[in-house]
């Protein structure tokens, strides 16, 4: 049902409109010219701007053979919960920036996903967390890498953006800043799950490349993109990176322009997948640049980058992208990508595999 300002069904609205039109026409024929002109000048009710949100829970999906109906139902419910948390903010006229942060926080708090609680383990057996956020209306951005105790890294990224003169903070310094900002910190045990610990033991000692290639169970990420009622775009991403990562490896998620990017009038992007490929291809910025500079649709830009470019190079993963009008694209070259979206025209979706 298309969205109408007063929420009446379209058919009723149209019927009322026709009656009104008939009365106005009759009135204008009967009334003196000045009065008819005054009535005709009354402005039509404004159509509310479309608000829209899309989220992902990572391209590192379980293989369909491991996915039980119960587990699929848990993933679906979690995706809908995160999507709707962001949508509720947009629906009330709130900013896209608040919506993407809220949606990502819900996913960070859920141990099903590789972000904050439930993150994968690095080579030292720690959960090492990265996140980023970007405001498309100002190009302001914030990012953090290698934090171990911040309950919601996406909120720390936002504080970096808003309360520091920098874009990106790492490790101990980032945690010191988190403490100064009064953010909620957690012991290592909060982030640890048996499932991820088992994956870590299975893969301990393996090099990063083979871990990532061909076995998406060992990665994952969460993210959100949104368009608010003022037409502004925002993007946010949060991840534990890749199982067994070492030497302080940082993926694409916290790198502005690679795994996270937003620019009003172009698009907003959050990526998931083998981060090294996303960094080399500057995925988020490249998609938005195709839209802005070449006039390509967001759907076509996402297809070119994810299918033609990344896939040809062996870069497994996907993106969620949102265009200036709130049209979303959920594009991936992996077996699946946990994803969901919703807009104020009534469109909604949630899915895991192709």
* Closest separation in Å from C-beta 217 to ligand ASP: 10
Q: Which of 113, 177, 200, 219 binds ligand ASP (CB under 6 A)?
A: 219
What number of chain residues touch ligand ASP (CB under 6 A)?
16
Stretch that binds ligand ASP, among 173-181, 250-258, 261-269, 304-312 (CB under 6 A): 250-258
239 binds ligand ASP (CB under 6 A): yes
Residue among 273 and 284 whose Cβ is closer to ligand ASP: 273
CA distance 179 to 10: 52
Q: Which of 57, 142, 220, 323 binds ligand ASP (CB under 6 A)?
A: 220
Residue among 232 and 245 whose Cβ is closer to ligand ASP: 245
CB half-sphere exposure, 122, CA atoms < 13 A: 23
CA distance 156 to 182: 10
137 binds ligand ASP (CB under 6 A): no
Q: Which of 95, 241, 244, 336 binds ligand ASP (CB under 6 A)?
A: 241
* Active-site residue (options: 61, 221, 237, 260): 221
Residue 349 φ/ψ, nearest 5 degrees: -155, 155
60 binds ligand ASP (CB under 6 A): yes
Residue among 89 and 212 whose Cβ is closer to ligand ASP: 212
Q: In terms of C-beta density within 10 A (0-12 exposed, 13-18 middle, 19 or more buried), how is residue 292 classed?
A: middle
Cα of 130 vs its chain's centroid, Å? 15
284 binds ligand ASP (CB under 6 A): no
Q: Which of 51, 54, 57, 58 binds ligand ASP (CB under 6 A)?
A: 58
DSSP string of 208-219, one letter each residue? HHHHHTT-GGG-
Stretch that binds ligand ASP, among 54-62, 75-83, 299-307, 322-330 (CB under 6 A): 54-62
Q: Which of 275, 284, 323, 326 binds ligand ASP (CB under 6 A)?
A: 275
238 binds ligand ASP (CB under 6 A): no
In the residue annotation, 221 being an active-site residue is answered as: yes
Distance from the first to the final alpha carbon of the chain: 26
CA-to-CA dists, residue 208 to 193, 249, 259, angstroms: 21, 9, 18
* Closest separation in Å from C-beta 216 to ligand ASP: 7
* Closest separation in Å from C-beta 252 to ligand ASP: 5
CA distance 307 to 296: 15
CA distance 180 to 6: 46
Q: Which of 142, 273, 315, 323 binds ligand ASP (CB under 6 A)?
A: 273
Stretch that binds ligand ASP, among 80-88, 121-129, 268-276, 304-312 (CB under 6 A): 268-276
Q: Alpha-carbon dihedral of residues 254, 261, 76, 118, nearest 10 degrees?
A: 0
Residues 169-208 that bind ligand ASP (CB under 6 A): none
253 binds ligand ASP (CB under 6 A): yes
CA distance 16 to 10: 10
Q: What angle do CA 323, 328, 332 make, to 5 degrees?
A: 115
Q: In terms of C-beta density within 10 A (0-12 exposed, 13-18 middle, 19 or more buried), how is residue 1 classed?
A: exposed
Q: Positive or negative, the Cα torsion across 143, 145, 149, 151?
A: positive
Residue among 59 and 89 whose Cβ is closer to ligand ASP: 59
Identify which of 229, 223, 225, 245 has the alpha carbon closest to the alpha carbon of residue 323.
225
Residues lying near ligand ASP in the complex (CB under 6 A): 58-60, 219-221, 239, 241-242, 251-253, 259, 272-273, 275
Catalytic residues: 221
């Amino acid at each position: 049902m298309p969205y109408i300002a007063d929420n009446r069904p379209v058919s009723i609205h149209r019927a009322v409109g026709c009656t009104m039109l008939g009365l106005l026409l009759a009135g204008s024929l009967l009334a003196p010219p000045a009065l008819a002109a005054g009535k005709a000048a009354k402005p039509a009710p404004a159509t509310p701007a479309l608000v829209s949100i899309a989220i992902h829970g990572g391209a590192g999906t379980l293989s369909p053979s491991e996915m039980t109906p119960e587990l699929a139902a848990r993933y679906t419910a979690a995706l809908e919960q995160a999507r709707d948390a962001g949508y509720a903010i947009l629906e009330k006229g709130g900013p896209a920036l608040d919506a993407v942060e809220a949606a990502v926080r819900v996913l960070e708090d859920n141990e099903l996903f590789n972000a904050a609680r439930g993150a994968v383990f690095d080579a030292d057996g720690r959960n090492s967390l990265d996140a980023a956020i970007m405001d498309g209306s100002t190009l302001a951005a914030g990012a953090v890498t290698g934090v171990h105790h911040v309950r919601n890294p996406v909120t720390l990224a936002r504080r970096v953006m808003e309360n520091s003169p920098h874009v990106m903070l790492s490790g101990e310094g980032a945690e010191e800043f988190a403490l100064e900002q009064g953010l909620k910190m957690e012991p290592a045990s909060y982030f640890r799950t048996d499932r991820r610990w088992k994956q870590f033991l299975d893969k301990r000692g393996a090099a990063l490349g083979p871990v990532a290639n061909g076995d998406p169970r060992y990665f994952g990420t969460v993210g959100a993109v949104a368009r608010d009622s003022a037409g502004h775009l925002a993007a946010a991403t949060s991840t534990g990176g890749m199982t067994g990562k070492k030497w302080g490896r940082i993926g694409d998620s916290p790198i502005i322009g690679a795994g996270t990017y937003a620019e009003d009038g172009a698009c907003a992007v959050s990526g998931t997948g083998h981060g090294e490929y996303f960094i080399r291809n500057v995925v988020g910025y490249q998609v938005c640049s195709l839209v802005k500079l070449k006039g390509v649709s967001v759907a076509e830009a996402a297809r070119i980058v994810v299918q033609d470019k990344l896939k040809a190079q062996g870069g497994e993963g996907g993106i969620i992208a949102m265009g200036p009008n709130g049209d979303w694209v959920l594009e991936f070259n992996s077996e699946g990508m946990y994803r969901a979206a919703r807009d104020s025209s009534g469109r909604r979706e949630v899915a895991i595999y192709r």
